[in-house]
Chain A
Amino acid sequence: MSKALFREFLRSIRRTIKRYLAIIAITGLGISVFTGVRATGPDMEATADRYFNDNNLMDIRVVSTIGLAGEDIDTILAVDSVEAVMPSKFVDTFVEKDGAEAVGVEGAALVCRAMSLDFGLAREASAGADDSAYMNRLHLTEGRYPDKPGECVLDSSEINSTTTFEIGDKIKLKGDGENLGSILTTDVFTIVGKVETPLFVSYERGTTLAGGGKLGSFIYIPEGAFKTDYYSEVYVTVKGADAFGTFTREYTEHIKGAADRIQAVSADAVSRRAVLLAAEYTPKIEQGEKDYAAKKAEVDAALAKAQEKVDQIIYYAKNGEAELAKKTAEGQAMLDAARAKLDAAKEEYNTGLARYNEGIVQYNEGKAKADAGRPQYEAAVAQLNEAAQDISDAQERINRQQALVDSAENFVNSADEATLATLIANLSAAGYETSFLESLPLSEVKAVISASLVQYRRVLSNAQEKLAAGIAEYEANKKKVDAATAEYERLDAAKAELENAKERLSQAKIDIALGEAQFQVKQAEFEFKIKDAQRDLNLAVANADTAQAEFDKKKAEALAGLAAARLDLDNGKKLLASLDTASWYVLKRSDLPGNADYSIAVENMDAISGVFPVFFFFIAAAVCLTTMTRMVEEERLQLGTLKALGYTSRAIVSKYIFYALSATAFGAAEGLILGFRLFPRAIFDVYSIIFNMPPILLPFRIGDAVLGTLLISATVAAAAFLACRKELLTHPAQLMRVKSPKPGRKVWLERIGFVWNRMSFTSKVTVRNLFRDKKRMAVTVFGIAGCTALLLSAFGLNDSVGGVVEKQFGAGGVSLFDGQIALSQPIDAGIENSEVLGLLKSDVRIKQTLPVFYQSLDAGSASEGSERMNAGIVVPADTSTVSAFMRLENRKTGEKYQLGDDGVLVTEKFAAKTSVAPGGEIAVDTPAGTVKLKVAGIVENYTFHYIYISSALYEKAFGAPPRYNLVMANLADSMNAGSAADRKKAAADLSRDLMNMDGIMAVTLTDQLIESFGNITGSLNDVVFIFILAAGALAFVVLYNLNNININERKRELATIKVLGFYDREVSSYIYRENVFLTLLGIAIGIAAGIFLHRYMVAVAEVNIVMFGREIKPLSYALACAITLFFALIVNLLMHRSLKKLSMVESLKVSE
């Protein structure tokens, strides 16, 4: 390339910077998705591999039901290809912190596995030693390793526990059905550190016979903390296993050999140990039972005695109480009486006071009245006294005159003349007219005198009479006055009385006050006395309580000791009973909790990588290719000029190839840098929600990098070359001319007059434009369709994956049962007689049960040399109730199957994988040989493979009746009531209660299963979300690029209509219509393509044992369309801006 040409090359980049950047972006996106997504699976695998190898993860784990003795370890070590062994002891326990039991996330007690470890090994390993006998190496995340038996390191993940633990916390272990006292030297441990171990790559900690059946956490404690002389398990590494990737078939096969050899030596080792144990335990238990009985009697007696004592104390305390109550009642009664008396006195006083006050009022009234009448009265008295004087005077006078008269009469009567004469003289002397008497005879005189005396007497009597009237009057007056006097006297008396009363009242008041004071004193005295008594009593009761508590404690201790002894005896008996059926379990890495999930995750990733990124990549490449072709076509004028100037075609072509290569190289570099880091890391981050792994390894994967870069660079460069060659083949003069724009042509639509004539002018223009450049139309539609297809398939995959759990276990799913209960002993004696079944049925929380024989066997099609797959043989005990526990239906035809005796039902994926159809035959490998079975139907199923066989057919085909080892259960409706937390709690309780029943080995509730499945598929959903983002980005870049090309090609046309005076929005809509049409068309085609792509992806992405849902939800269609439209909208908005900026002058100048 000449210097001038190179400069021109740089300029052309600057001129077409948008396009150049678009190619870089699309290439980058394509390559990053291609390499990144494809690298994720291998990266995850490599990470696990490295993690396992670096930490010397065991290859095989041997667990024995009767423990492993030193000889057993030696036996295993001697097995061919065994590299090293690491025996370990463990016990599964509950945990108490600060006196409270730790609770797991399910709401049940947290079960923790305490495992032994020689921490010397761990410390040496930290110092750099690589001892092959130290396996599953720990990583301290904080703290330190234990130094003494009372210390432990704890699981660093507390995801399964609602109780949190800190370094320095003391935890107390509590056995579940085991006497920790005879297993551990201490049950209290101080947490001194937290660790991670490659044994657990996820939050799963495995299963246990303790508690609810699920392990939630683990601790490692020094070996010295164990009293036991045998091991619980032994970890084994196999020679040469490190050379294979842990998830590879080669590794599995390599390990299988060693595992089989260990299994082979197990029978002898087990029986050897069984004999020893029998010899050791039989007399031990015999003696133990005796000791226990003696101890129990002793304890019982001691307890009875102590109880008596305590009872006495309590009796006293109780008695005191009664007495106090009595005393209190008495005192209170007394007080009450005093109170009543006092109250009566008060009452009386109050009435007296009222009466007194009333008297005062009355007296005052009377007095006022009396005072007003007093002068009158006094006058009356004076008058009366006067009258009395008068009357007595008058009477006296009358009396005197009477006496005079009387004496006169006497005198007269007896008088002689002389006397008479004297008398007359006297009389005359007295002034009386006596002259007439002197002349008269005596008798006459006498008569006259008598007559005058009579006369006089009459006067006197008259006077007397008058006086009598006066007296009468006086008497009347006197009476009146007397009455008044009496009134006055009465008033005085009343007053005196009132005074009296007042005095009495004030005396009473004083008395009352006195009484009140006395009462208060009495009451205070009483209360004090009672309080005193109460205190005494409390003291007595407290003493009694203490005595009781002390007794209870002693009793509990004594009983606990007994219970522990009992447990030891029972467990010893159980051990003896189990010696006959004892065996070794030889487990592999894939049996480690979470390990298989991880490998499924890797498989999922690998499967998806085969489709999505490849498709993505091809769309990206196709778009770059078009962009390049267009560019060459646009620059034909320049091509012609250069050619005319004498540049060789080769030089000219090299400019474009260089353009293409440089753009794709930049894009590829960017894509590789981003891809290998971004996608594996992002996806791994998503998985790290469930997996606990070291940071992902991100090796540069040269194969994909080169492949991707070469593919896209070659494609784009080839496009540039072909386009140039086409142009350069034409004559330079012709090239120099403006490429005659494609001639307008009538489109076929115009021939349909009634449609065409009805279309608006602008619609006609749009249709013409659409049909004018079919190539561009095709590319745009292809790009949009590709993006929609990617989006739809990504959303669809989300639906399919997310739907698995729902379809298998959800309401209306395939598995209708609510739980599965694994039995430790199969029901052989007949279902009616089964104790366990009886127990389950009697639990009100369980509505319905179905005993099932379940066995996992290898099966395949009956044809020669067919591939075998692991499948579950399911033989229900009762075919009539099967429909309540599982839906046996064909997904496609909807046919409902009855489990008959003429053939078996196989699950859909199994049928598809083995290509067997109804009427065909399958073969099942049993230890005794291969059994062939006729297939009667294919049933819908999403996880794992199952072969459903009726019990009669099973017996006929396998030659033995099924031994029901599993019970499917439906729970009562009450278990589904209440809040989610309530249900969870109820489920956890049920789980725990069932696990506590004899004869039950494991309980799996469907809800719990859904949750653990949901975790894995949920994270796959998030991975799909990353794809959706990538597809969205691609959609955007593609649309933008295509629009850019479109505008560039039609600059002149657009400038012309701008010159004609089209408004900005009219100019935009001139192009919009085409875009909208092409976008809609693209979406329509994309949906069709997406359905196929989805179908393909689901088929490829499925892992062996899972069948994804086949449907795409309506929402996914809507979202795929909406996202594409959204990007189209944004691109159109951007286009509107660049159209606005499009310079008419510049665009029209080109031709000058």
Chain B
Amino acid sequence: MSFIEFESVYKRYKMGEITINAADNVSFQAEQGEICAVVGPSGAGKTTVLNILGGMDSCDDGKVRVGGEVISGFKRKRLIEYRRYDVGFIFQFYNLIPNLTALENVELATQISKKSLDAKKVLERVGLAERLNSFPAQLSGGEQQRVSIARALAKNPKLLLCDEPTGALDYTTGKQILKLLQDTSRETGMTVLIITHNQAITPMANRIVSLRSGRVFTIAVNDRPVSAERIEW
């Protein structure tokens, strides 16, 4: 049994009389400790997959299993707990609380998690030992994304969900962030799911799920992922 299992997942939006299938019979698996890249053009349903997987949205049909549990059947409370303890999110626009310092943003997550890591240490690990007391506005984009990653990691989740983590970053910074993700996955065995429209990232993933118009187009398994430092775009 795989760590992540998508089984004929549907997500439909009704726009007046038209029904749009944001996810149309999506099925794929990803193994524990893998880096799984979900790629596809805008509107292919990547974010829908991420939202469902992250417990932020529900699917209309099909089953989603994470670590053996059917999260698509979770009740509201259980779903919150799932987000709270099992999932870490990294957004394109970081979504840091502007009013909290880097350290406090991380603490915001560790406050509520049971098996959380020390906020300071995590920040040191992502290379922000010097910027603990800086507010997001005082940090560069890459630094903010690092805070975001630190906030996700500090919860010590089973699954790290990244939505276009490099989308708002320059090339070098983007690569550093990807490296950080890859290292984390390798060091902690954490499953990482990266959503991107950037095909160049795929070589570093163990598995590449390609979506088009809400359907799974291809699933490729990469036995020899390259180091993030070596990918280029």
The smallest beta-carbon distance between A421 and chain B, in angstroms, is 185
Say yes or no: A1063 contacts B104, CB within 8 Å.
no
B residues in contact with A830, CB < 8 Å: none
Say yes or no: B95 contacts A769, CB within 8 Å.
no
The B102-122 residues at the A interface (CB cut-off 8 A) are 104, 107-109, 111-113
A residues in contact with B188, CB < 8 Å: none
User: A744 contacts the other chain (Cβ, under 8 Å)?
Assistant: yes
Q: Which A residue sits closest to B133, measured CB to CB?
A: A746
Looking at the complex, which of B27-35, B63-71, B84-92, B223-231 is the stretch in contact with chain A?
B84-92
Q: Which B residue sits closest to A1056, measured CB to CB?
A: B95
Say yes or no: A1066 contacts B98, CB within 8 Å.
no
Query: Assuming the A-B contacts A744-B99, A764-B104, are A1061 and B137 also in contact, with contact meaning beta carbons closer than 8 angstroms in the complex?
Result: no
Query: Assuming the A-B contacts A765-B100, A1057-B97, are A1066 and B54 also in contact, with contact meaning beta carbons closer than 8 angstroms in the complex?
Result: no
B residues in contact with A765, CB < 8 Å: 97, 99-100, 104, 108
The smallest beta-carbon distance between B84 and chain A, in angstroms, is 3
Query: Assuming the A-B contacts A741-B98, A1144-B56, are A1057 and B138 also in contact, with contact meaning beta carbons closer than 8 angstroms in the complex?
Result: no
A residues in contact with B100, CB < 8 Å: 744, 765, 768
User: A1053 contacts the other chain (Cβ, under 8 Å)?
Assistant: yes
The smallest beta-carbon distance between A741 and chain B, in angstroms, is 4
Say yes or no: A744 contacts B136, CB within 8 Å.
yes
B residues in contact with A382, CB < 8 Å: none
In whole angstroms, how far apart are the Cα atoms of A743 and B101 in the complex? 10
Could you list 13 further interchain pairs (A-B, Cβ under 8 angstroms) beyond the known A765-B108, A1060-B155, A1062-B84?
A: A741-B137, A743-B135, A744-B100, A744-B136, A762-B111, A768-B99, A1052-B95, A1060-B89, A1062-B80, A1145-B57, A1148-B95, A1151-B93, A1152-B47
Say yes or no: A1061 contacts B95, CB within 8 Å.
no
User: B81 contacts the other chain (Cβ, under 8 Å)?
Assistant: yes
Say yes or no: A744 contacts B84, CB within 8 Å.
no
In whole angstroms, how far apart are the Cα atoms of A768 and B77 in the complex? 29
The smallest beta-carbon distance between B218 and chain A, in angstroms, is 25
Say yes or no: A1145 contacts B56, CB within 8 Å.
yes
In whole angstroms, how far apart are the Cα atoms of A1064 and B100 in the complex? 21
Say yes or no: A1060 contacts B98, CB within 8 Å.
no
Encode contact with B along A767-787: 1 for CB under 8 Å, 0 otherwise: 011001000000000000000
The smallest beta-carbon distance between B83 and chain A, in angstroms, is 4
Q: Which B residue sits closest to A743, measured CB to CB?
A: B137
The smallest beta-carbon distance between B155 and chain A, in angstroms, is 8
Say yes or no: B99 contacts A1057, CB within 8 Å.
no
The smallest beta-carbon distance between B93 and chain A, in angstroms, is 5
The A78-99 residues at the B interface (CB cut-off 8 A) are none
What are 25 contact pairs spanning A and B, CB under 8 A?
A: A740-B137, A741-B137, A742-B98, A743-B98, A743-B137, A744-B98, A761-B104, A761-B111, A765-B97, A768-B100, A772-B98, A1055-B95, A1056-B97, A1060-B83, A1060-B89, A1060-B108, A1060-B112, A1060-B155, A1061-B81, A1061-B82, A1061-B84, A1061-B87, A1062-B80, A1062-B112, A1145-B56
Say yes or no: B51 contacts A772, CB within 8 Å.
no
Encode contact with A along B149-179: 1 for CB under 8 Å, 0 otherwise: 0010001000000000000000000000000
Q: Which A residue sits closest to B93, measured CB to CB?
A: A1151
Say yes or no: B56 contacts A744, CB within 8 Å.
no
Among A744, A768, A1057, A1148, which residue has the most Cβ atoms of chain B within 10 A? A744
In whole angstroms, how far apart are the Cα atoms of A1060 and B111 in the complex? 11
The smallest beta-carbon distance between A617 and chain B, in angstroms, is 35
The smallest beta-carbon distance between B86 and chain A, in angstroms, is 9
User: A1059 contacts the other chain (Cβ, under 8 Å)?
Assistant: yes
In whole angstroms, how far apart are the Cα atoms of A491 and B136 in the complex? 149
A residues in contact with B135, CB < 8 Å: 743-745
In whole angstroms, how far apart are the Cα atoms of A762 and B96 in the complex? 16
Say yes or no: A772 contacts B99, CB within 8 Å.
yes
Query: Assuming the A-B contacts A744-B135, A1059-B56, A1145-B56, are A1053 and B51 also in contact, with contact meaning beta carbons closer than 8 angstroms in the complex?
Result: no
B-contacting residues of A (Cβ < 8 Å)? 738, 740-745, 761-762, 764-765, 768-769, 772, 1052-1053, 1055-1057, 1059-1064, 1066, 1144-1145, 1148, 1151-1152
Encode contact with A along B71-83: 1 for CB under 8 Å, 0 otherwise: 0000001001111
In whole angstroms, how far apart are the Cα atoms of A745 and B97 in the complex? 12
How many A-B contacts are there with CB distance less than 8 Å? 88
B residues in contact with A1145, CB < 8 Å: 51, 56-57
Q: Which A residue sits closest to B96, measured CB to CB?
A: A1056
Among B85, B87, B96, B98, which residue has the most Cβ atoms of chain A within 10 A? B98
The smallest beta-carbon distance between B95 and chain A, in angstroms, is 4
In whole angstroms, how far apart are the Cα atoms of A280 and B91 in the complex? 115
The smallest beta-carbon distance between A767 and chain B, in angstroms, is 10
Say yes or no: A744 contacts B107, CB within 8 Å.
no
The smallest beta-carbon distance between A189 and chain B, in angstroms, is 81
B residues in contact with A1057, CB < 8 Å: 97, 108
Q: Which B residue sits closest to A762, measured CB to CB?
A: B111
Encode contact with A along B112-144: 1 for CB under 8 Å, 0 otherwise: 110000000000000000000001111000000
Say yes or no: A1151 contacts B80, CB within 8 Å.
no
The smallest beta-carbon distance between B222 and chain A, in angstroms, is 28
In whole angstroms, how far apart are the Cα atoms of A740 and B144 in the complex? 14
The B38-64 residues at the A interface (CB cut-off 8 A) are 47, 51, 54, 56-57
B residues in contact with A1151, CB < 8 Å: 92-93
The smallest beta-carbon distance between A1057 and chain B, in angstroms, is 7
The smallest beta-carbon distance between A1097 and chain B, in angstroms, is 41
Say yes or no: A769 contacts B99, CB within 8 Å.
yes
Say yes or no: A1061 contacts B107, CB within 8 Å.
no
Counting from the closest, the 8 A-B pairs by CB-CB distance are: A1061-B84, A743-B137, A744-B135, A1061-B83, A741-B98, A744-B99, A1056-B95, A1144-B56
In whole angstroms, how far apart are the Cα atoms of A1053 and B54 in the complex? 18
Query: Assuming the A-B contacts A744-B136, A1056-B95, are A1061 and B104 also in contact, with contact meaning beta carbons closer than 8 angstroms in the complex?
Result: no
A residues in contact with B101, CB < 8 Å: 744
Say yes or no: B89 contacts A1059, CB within 8 Å.
yes
In whole angstroms, how far apart are the Cα atoms of A1152 and B112 in the complex? 28
Q: Which B residue sits closest to A1052, measured CB to CB?
A: B95
Say yes or no: B84 contacts A1060, CB within 8 Å.
yes
Q: Which A residue sits closest to B111, measured CB to CB?
A: A761
B residues in contact with A1055, CB < 8 Å: 95
In whole angstroms, how far apart are the Cα atoms of A1151 and B168 in the complex? 11
A residues in contact with B95, CB < 8 Å: 1052, 1055-1056, 1059, 1148
A residues in contact with B136, CB < 8 Å: 743-744
The smallest beta-carbon distance between B126 and chain A, in angstroms, is 17
In whole angstroms, how far apart are the Cα atoms of A762 and B100 in the complex? 11
Say yes or no: B138 contacts A743, CB within 8 Å.
yes
In whole angstroms, how far apart are the Cα atoms of A1145 and B83 in the complex? 14
The smallest beta-carbon distance between A762 and chain B, in angstroms, is 8
The smallest beta-carbon distance between B120 and chain A, in angstroms, is 14
In whole angstroms, how far apart are the Cα atoms of A857 and B135 in the complex? 77
Q: Which A residue sits closest to B92, measured CB to CB?
A: A1151
Among B80, B81, B85, which residue has the most Cβ atoms of chain A within 10 A? B80
Q: Which B residue sits closest to A1151, measured CB to CB?
A: B93
Q: Which B residue sits closest to A1149, measured CB to CB?
A: B47
Which of A740, A1060, A1066 interacts with B109 by CB under 8 Å? A1060
In whole angstroms, how far apart are the Cα atoms of A740 and B99 in the complex? 12
A residues in contact with B98, CB < 8 Å: 741-744, 772, 1053
In whole angstroms, how far apart are the Cα atoms of A762 and B47 in the complex? 31
In whole angstroms, how far apart are the Cα atoms of A738 and B94 in the complex? 13
The smallest beta-carbon distance between A1136 and chain B, in angstroms, is 14
In whole angstroms, how far apart are the Cα atoms of A71 and B52 in the complex? 105
In whole angstroms, how far apart are the Cα atoms of A1145 and B50 in the complex? 10
A residues in contact with B47, CB < 8 Å: 1152
Q: Which B residue sits closest to A1057, measured CB to CB?
A: B108
The smallest beta-carbon distance between A1009 and chain B, in angstroms, is 64
Among A1056, A1062, A1151, which residue has the most Cβ atoms of chain B within 10 A? A1056
B residues in contact with A1152, CB < 8 Å: 47, 92
The smallest beta-carbon distance between A773 and chain B, in angstroms, is 9
In whole angstroms, how far apart are the Cα atoms of A1052 and B92 in the complex? 13
In whole angstroms, how far apart are the Cα atoms of A740 and B107 in the complex? 23
In whole angstroms, how far apart are the Cα atoms of A1055 and B57 in the complex? 12
